[in-house]
């Protein structure tokens, strides 16, 4: 006889708990066919192009101020080869040892191989910044170059987490010690 009221109470509790849940989404999401994905991303793409344009203007003014004779590669790296070096050109998969100095456009020296040790890395196969991978392939052992590396080829939007802020170009003086 007690079973019926107990069953009713249990059923009532279960129904009450089931009613507390959020209703599941039903139906389909309709997107406007008038706005293709490209149009949604266009303002971001245009904004990034504008940022890169402004950064390039800043870099070119910096280079003019010092009177450096630099060439701009297709990727946007600015290079002045001071000494090509001797022997075969550095190529992908070569292990290189570099002496270097790294500066901000403000002129502040932030890294130096005299204090931090030589950079040793495998060309095109390491975590080193893209601008450096490209630049060493323009040199031979003993080669020296001055570089202005745009932020997107250096430490990007995030910076290096230490001395280089996000979206900040860097200047490097490099010398290939050996390969």
CATH number (domain holding residue 87):
3.10.50.40
Longest dimension (CA), the chain: 102
pTM for this entry: 0.76
Q: Do 108 and 97 meet the contact criterion of CB atoms below 8 Å apart?
A: no
- Per the DSSP assignment, residues forming a β-bridge with 145 are 81, 174
Residue 16 domain-assigned (yes or no): no
Domain that holds residue 92: 42-178
Q: Do 74 and 62 meet the contact criterion of CB atoms below 8 Å apart?
A: no
Residue 157 domain-assigned (yes or no): yes
What is the predicted pLDDT for the residue at 48?
Answer: 86
Residue 90 domain-assigned (yes or no): yes
Residue 123 domain-assigned (yes or no): yes
Residue 15 domain-assigned (yes or no): no
Name the helix (H) or strand (E) containing 102.
strand 95-104
Residue 21 domain-assigned (yes or no): no
As a whole number of angstroms, the distance between CA 8 and CA 5 comes to 5
Residue 48 domain-assigned (yes or no): yes
| Number of domains making up the chain | 1
Residue 24 domain-assigned (yes or no): no
Residue ranges in the chain modelled with pLDDT below 70: 1-38
What is the predicted pLDDT for the residue at 1?
Answer: 47
């Amino acid at each position: 006889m007690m079973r019926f009221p107990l069953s009713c109470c249990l059923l009532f509790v279960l129904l009450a708990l089931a009613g507390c849940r959020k209703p599941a989404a039903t139906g389909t999401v309709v997107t406007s066919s008038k706005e293709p994905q490209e149009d949604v991303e266009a303002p971001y793409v245009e904004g990034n192009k504008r940022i890169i344009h402004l950064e390039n203007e800043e870099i070119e003014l910096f280079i003019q101020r010092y009177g450096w004779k630099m060439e701009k590669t297709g990727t946007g790296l600015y290079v002045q080869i001071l000494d090509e070096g001797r022997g075969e050109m550095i190529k992908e998969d070569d292990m290189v040892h570099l002496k270097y100095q790294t500066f901000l456009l403000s002129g502040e020296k932030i890294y130096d191989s005299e204090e931090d040790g030589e950079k040793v890395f495998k060309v095109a196969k390491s975590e080193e910044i893209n601008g450096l991978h490209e630049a060493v392939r323009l040199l031979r052992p003993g080669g020296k170059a001055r570089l202005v590396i745009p932020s997107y080829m250096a430490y990007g939007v995030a910076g290096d987490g230490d001395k280089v802020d996000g979206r900040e170009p860097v200047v490097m003086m490099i010398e290939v010690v050996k390969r």
